[in-house]
Amino acid sequence: MKLITNCKHCQKEIRVKSMSNDRPELAKEMGNEFTLNCEHCLRKDRYSANEVKAKESKSIKIFSLLVFLIGTGFLACFFRDFVFISESPKFLFYVCATLTVPAVFYGLLTKQDRDKVRDFNRYWS
């Protein structure tokens, strides 16, 4: 999750550097009003915690995708003999396991971030 607000002058996104999980926490950490510098038009202005919103973080999505790809590759190697060579009756089971486990991990990781974003945007300070 990342915290952002829109610049009052150019409307572009400004990143708020805070690890807060909700608006009351953000207000406690940064004060009710705080000054932010826009990286795009370089103008300073005062913003309040209620003007900040949460967005899903790209790095978590990329990380989750990597976990998914590496996990799939790892399991495919692990089950290689069963999945690609043998005509084991458990063939389908191994194919499913190879895809399901990383997919579940991927889902859990991204869901956690989505939930945090939803929680942040729900509470107003």
Near Zn ion by CB under 5 A, which window of 5-13, 26-34, 67-75, 95-103?
5-13
Q: Are 14 and 36 in contact (CB under 8 A)?
A: yes
CB nearer Zn ion, residue 9 or residue 114: 9
Q: Which residues, numbered 21-60, are part of the site for Zn ion (CB under 5 A)? A: 38, 40-41
Judged on CB neighbours under 10 Å (0-12, 13-18, 19+), 77 is exposed
Q: Which is nearer to Zn ion, 10 or 108 (CB)?
A: 10
Gyration radius of the chain's alpha carbons: 22
Pick the closest to residue 22 from 42, 43, 40, 49 (CA basis).
Answer: 49
Minimum separation from the CB atom of position 20 to Zn ion (A): 22
Residues near Zn ion, by CB under 5 A: 7, 9-10, 38, 40-41
